Structure 1
Amino acid sequence: IFSNIPIIGPILVMFLSSPMRTKGYMSLYFKINHYDSKSIRKLSHRHYGQFVGFGITASFIESLPYLSLFGAVANQVGAALWAVDLIKKQK
């Protein structure tokens, strides 16, 4: 419904779906650390701004023609680096 609104709609959809996109990129980290859905939700609420920022950036890069091929790989690498940072902060 929101995507039918010119200019603002796609931006709003990108903003609202960005935390879910981030959870998708971070899924391997969650699986390795045996996170359940409650732990994932708690982590995503604690780092909500980072989840939104990462998701918006990932969505934007993947929406650009030709750059999306590089962007998909770069986003996965970025999520892995972020996971390493989270692991270091846990210790």
Structure 2
Amino acid sequence: MILTMGETTLLVTLVMGEVFKREKSKGLFKSVMSYNNVLLGPLATVQHHEQNNDKAKSSDDSDDTIQVSSTIGKPVIKKRRRDVVKDASLQFGQRIALWLVTLPLNFVPVIGSVVFCYINAKAIVPDIHRRYFDMKRMTDDERKDWIKKRQADYTGFAFVSQALELVPFLGVLFGFTNTIGAALWAVDLERPQDALRNRKLLEDAYGSQ
């Protein structure tokens, strides 16, 4: 009975620690983005067109066009935010449940911990840059497409993050450093986005002349 109570207390502590880390890391993520003077804006993508001749093939992206997500109405934005928050809460609960179910894997030396980290890493991939996506007001389809194009990078980052958070006593601290790392990664990802938006503005300006 005492053992069961101890295990229950441990699980409650771990879950509450995860909730505390999740809430506190929101402001930390935004602070890192602000500190690096990142100009956040709507999603910018390059649409590549097929080139039909050798001359076109030798040109440097002359037939490519830049697309920037248009601003949508406030009611749509509010609805989207409610959907995003609801989806985030649901996924958070699912990740906690998965984490608890797979926790016994760590009793298997080395291999068990590796499997545990991999399974849970796959689950936390959508949450790594959730705040970044929220700040850019990206749709669910845009988020999925963004992650799909960088799947290996996100999985690797999530695996290392999960492994660091398993370190006894220091795991909670690593939870915050992982948030900082994700924010710094978002900074590097947003700089090319800003360059694309500026290029789009220049193209529109020259095109209107």
- Tell whether 2:178 aligns with 1:88: no
- Structure 1 counterpart of 2:123, from 14, 20, 38: 20
Moved more, 75-84 or 12-21: 12-21
Structure 2 partner of 1:72: 175
Question: Pairwise mapping of residues 56-67 of structure 1 onto structure 2 (< 5 A)?
Answer: 56-67=159-170
Secondary structure (helix, strand or coil) at the match of 1:65 reads coil
Query: 1 or 2, which has the higher helix percentage?
Result: 1
- Structure 1 counterpart of 2:153, from 40, 46, 50: 50
The 3 A distance-change label for structure 1 pair 74 and 5 is closer
Q: State how many pairs are aligned.
A: 91
Shift of 1:18: 1.5
Q: Could you tell me whether the CA contact under 8 Å between 1:15 and 1:56 is conserved in 2?
A: yes
- Greater than 3 Å deviation, 4+ residue runs: 1-10
Secondary structure (helix, strand or coil) at the match of 2:144 reads helix
Tell me how far apart the structure 1 counterparts of residues 117 and 135 of structure 2 sit (CA, whole Å).
Answer: 28
Decide which structure has the larger Cα Rg and report it: 2
Q: Could you tell me whether the CA contact under 8 Å between 2:165 and 2:171 is conserved in 1?
A: yes
Query: What TM-score do you get using the length of structure 1 for normalisation?
Result: 0.83
- Structure 1 counterpart of 2:132, from 13, 29, 37: 29
Moved more, 2-11 or 65-74: 2-11
Structure 1 portions without partners, runs of 5+: none
Q: Could you tell me whether the CA contact under 8 Å between 1:19 and 1:48 is conserved in 2?
A: no
Q: Could you tell me whether the CA contact under 8 Å between 2:125 and 2:155 is conserved in 1?
A: yes
Query: What TM-score do you get using the length of structure 2 for normalisation?
Result: 0.39
Tell me how far apart the structure 1 counterparts of residues 140 and 123 of structure 2 sit (CA, whole Å).
Answer: 13
Tell me how far apart the structure 1 counterparts of residues 190 and 108 of structure 2 sit (CA, whole Å).
Answer: 41
Structure 2 portions without partners, runs of 5+: 1-100, 196-209
